[in-house]
């Protein structure tokens, strides 16, 4: 179980609303509310993205032909479900409601994946290559997001939250490496043989 060590008092509430805590960090006092708002906004964005992936990954898994690719996507679906729960835990630690904010980037990346599936022939390694390409674009977006969020959490003095985000970052990097391995060890070569 993770605990959050924050120094919050009634006089540290921002904007006079009492809704957003002001955290003691190493940054200047004037920068704290804006940085915290950006951090929360980014958390809500990736929360939407992860929930969207929970719905999109089964379609990608069903469209894949290679067993290793299907298994990798199935494994990442389980991880993504855990990542959603982890984000909910982070919101709870922050005393914030877990509200999703539409992530245009993830919506676009998942649509691109759908187009690849629709434009390639069912049961082919070429489709699998397309699925890997689309999946890695998603992974790289998530890696960039979680890398940035981990650093922001550390800057804000939210070490326990930074640890949770770093755990998700490591999972995203591992998923990306596995997709590369699947592509390099078989799928790309199988696709190169197709007419």
The reported pLDDT for the residue numbered 175 is 97
Q: What is this structure's pTM?
A: 0.82
Note the CATH number of domain 28-192.
1.20.1260.10
Domain boundaries, the chain: 28-192
**How confident is the model at residue 13, as a pLDDT?**
32
Collect all residues with Cβ–Cβ distance below 8 Å to 189 and sequence separation of at least 6: none
Closest CA to 47 of 156, 149, 158, 190: 149
Spell out, as residue ranges, where the chain has pLDDT lower than 50: 1-31
Grouping H, G, I as helix, E, B as strand and the rest as coil, residue 39 is helix
Q: pLDDT at position 172, please?
A: 98
């Amino acid at each position: 179980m993770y605990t959050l060590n924050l120094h919050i008092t009634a006089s540290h509430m921002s904007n006079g609303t009492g809704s957003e805590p002001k955290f003691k960090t190493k940054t200047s006092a004037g920068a704290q509310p804006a940085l915290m708002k950006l951090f929360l906004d980014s958390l809500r964005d990736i929360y939407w993205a992860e929930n969207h992936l929970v719905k999109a990954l089964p379609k990608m898994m069903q469209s894949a032909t290679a067993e290793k690719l299907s298994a990798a996507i199935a494994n990442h679906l389980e991880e993504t479900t855990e990542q959603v729960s982890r984000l909910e835990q982070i919101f709870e630690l922050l005393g914030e409601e877990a509200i999703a904010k539409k992530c245009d980037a993830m919506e676009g990346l998942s649509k691109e994946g759908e187009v690849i599936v629709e434009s390639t022939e069912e049961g082919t390694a070429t489709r699998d290559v397309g699925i890997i390409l689309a999946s890695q674009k998603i992974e790289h977006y998530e890696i960039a997001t979680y890398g940035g969020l981990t650093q922001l959490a550390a800057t804000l003095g939210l070490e326990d939250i930074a640890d949770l985000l770093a755990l998700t970052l490591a999972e995203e990097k591992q998923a990306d490496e596995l997709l590369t391995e699947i592509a390099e060890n078989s799928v790309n070569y199988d696709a190169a043989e197709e007419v």
